[in-house]
Amino acid sequence: MHALVTGAGGFLGRYVCEMLLARGDSVRGFARGDYPELTAAGVEMVRGDLADRAAVVEACRGVDCVLHVGGKVGVWGRWFDYFNANVHGTLNLLSACAEQGVPRMVFTSSPSVTFDGADQRGVDNSAPYPTKWLAHYPHSKALAEQFVLSQDNTPVRPRDGSGGRGATLRTCSLRPHLVWGPRDHHLTARLVERSRSGQLRRVGTGTNRVDMVYVENAAAAHLQAADALAEPDPACAGKAYFLSQGEPVVCWEWIDQILALAGEPPVSKSIGARAAYAAGALLETKHWARRDFAREPRMTRFVARQLATDHWFDIEATRQDFGYKPAISTEEGMQRLGDWLRSLPLRSKA
């Protein structure tokens, strides 16, 4: 197929591009930056912003499927910025698909779209959206996901120019949780940086269990979902799916394992869950008062609850509806992550 990958230069987006190329698909990447290594690999790179409708429409010309991986991540910033990238940008893509006759879209969402700060144990795809939000990121992703799913099976312009009816857009949403692996300059880098600066604290009892997913498994799931949407009456169409390794880990034990791979000691200091939440609320208030949106507070309410609660998911529907199965085990993934960390110059940063 001819695929458009938004956020092609990002951690997950780059793996998606590479997997598409490896199996012989034609890949167009859409990103705000310049990524010559992707161009050299065979990706047709297009620079643009998701909020620029004209650029998005042109990027969708002639493609068979959009894998919408791009967006604004993080837990701090202005609502306008999250809305503009994640909601407005997604609406632009949906409109472009209709205009350019694109028949498939796979949207990269997040399990945080169902998180209200409480424990989540064995939650399946029927989990409702919360009525309160602890950060702009999950709120904006939830809105975008709802738009994507609501547009499943809606008409798109036929590509033959006949003006006839029958062509429709099939959509689904994937919710990968804590994506990690080699070339991770977000989760792994942040843990190592906080450890080396002495700012990393265990939040809560340290026994909470969480799901996570190795990056190549998450990328492969995007290709599987895209292929499934091409089938007649796809089971995954119009639905959202959690992605994970299928084996929850104890959050803080796993964090210690990642730190060990980077040559860092285990986390030795801790803070209670309530104290961390209160600290997050206080720091958010101070940052808002200063209009400091560029620097993320050392703690936020969302991060405090994420680090102290259980959140693991039932992925049985993910397996059944489009055949997802983690091909790379957690043990093998950790070995690959360690090899990558050891290959970095002086192991000075992740």
Question: What's the pLDDT score for residue 166?
Answer: 63
Tell me the angle at which helices 89-100 and 136-150 cross, rounded to the nearest 10 degrees.
20
- CATH for 2-180+212-245+311-327, options being 3.40.640.10, 3.30.565.10, 3.40.50.720, 3.30.420.40: 3.40.50.720
Domain ranges of the chain: 2-180+212-245+311-327
- Give the list of residues 6+ apart from residue 22 with CB closer than 8 angstroms, or none: none
Range with lowest mean pLDDT among 13-22, 148-157, 288-297: 288-297
Separation between Cα atoms, residue 24 and residue 309, nearest integer Å: 42
Instruction: Kindly indicate the confidence band of residue 347, based on its pLDDT and cuts at 50, 70 and 90.
Output: very low
- Other beta carbons within 10 angstroms of residue 216's beta carbon come to 22
- CA-angle at 11, arms to 2 and 183, nearest 5°: 125
pLDDT at 302 over 90: yes
pLDDT at 218 over 50: yes
Region label for 246, one of left (φ > 0), alpha (ψ between -120 and 50) or beta (otherwise): left
pLDDT at 126 over 80: yes
Separation between Cα atoms, residue 229 and residue 207, nearest integer Å: 39
Q: Are 99 and 57 a contacting pair, CB within 8 Å?
A: yes
The residue annotated as part of the active site, out of 137, 214, 241, 324, is: 137
Instruction: Kindly indicate the confidence band of residue 345, based on its pLDDT and cuts at 50, 70 and 90.
Output: confident
pLDDT at 160 over 90: no
As a whole number of Å, the end-to-end CA separation of the chain is: 34
Question: What's the pLDDT score for residue 159?
Answer: 76
Output the CA torsion 242→130→82→89 (10° steps): 60
pLDDT in tens, 25-34: 999 999 999 9
Q: For residue 248, give both structure tokens.
A: 């929850």
- Give the list of residues 6+ apart from residue 14 with CB closer than 8 angstroms, or none: 8, 35, 38, 183
Question: What's the pLDDT score for residue 156?
Answer: 95
Question: What's the pLDDT score for residue 293?
Answer: 87
Question: What's the pLDDT score for residue 327?
Answer: 96
Average pLDDT over all residues of the chain? 94
Amino acid at 325: K
pLDDT at 181 over 50: yes
Question: What's the pLDDT score for residue 344?
Answer: 83
Mean pLDDT of 324-346: 92
**The tokens 């910033």 sit on which residue?**
77
pLDDT at 143 over 60: yes
Question: What's the pLDDT score for residue 348?
Answer: 47
3-class secondary structure, 350? coil
pLDDT in tens, 229-281: 999 999 999 999 999 999 999 999 999 999 999 999 999 999 999 999 999 99
pTM: 0.94
**The tokens 């030795």 sit on which residue?**
268
Amino acid at 235: A
Region label for 277, one of left (φ > 0), alpha (ψ between -120 and 50) or beta (otherwise): alpha
Mean pLDDT of 298-303: 94
pLDDT in tens, 43-52: 999 999 999 9
Separation between Cα atoms, residue 350 and residue 340, nearest integer Å: 9
Please confirm, yes or no, whether 35 is among the known catalytic residues: no
Question: What's the pLDDT score for residue 161?
Answer: 55
Q: Are 12 and 30 a contacting pair, CB within 8 Å?
A: no
Sign of CA dihedral 264, 268, 272, 276: negative
Question: What's the pLDDT score for residue 190?
Answer: 87
pLDDT at 346 over 60: no
Range with lowest mean pLDDT among 49-63, 149-163, 183-197, 220-234: 149-163
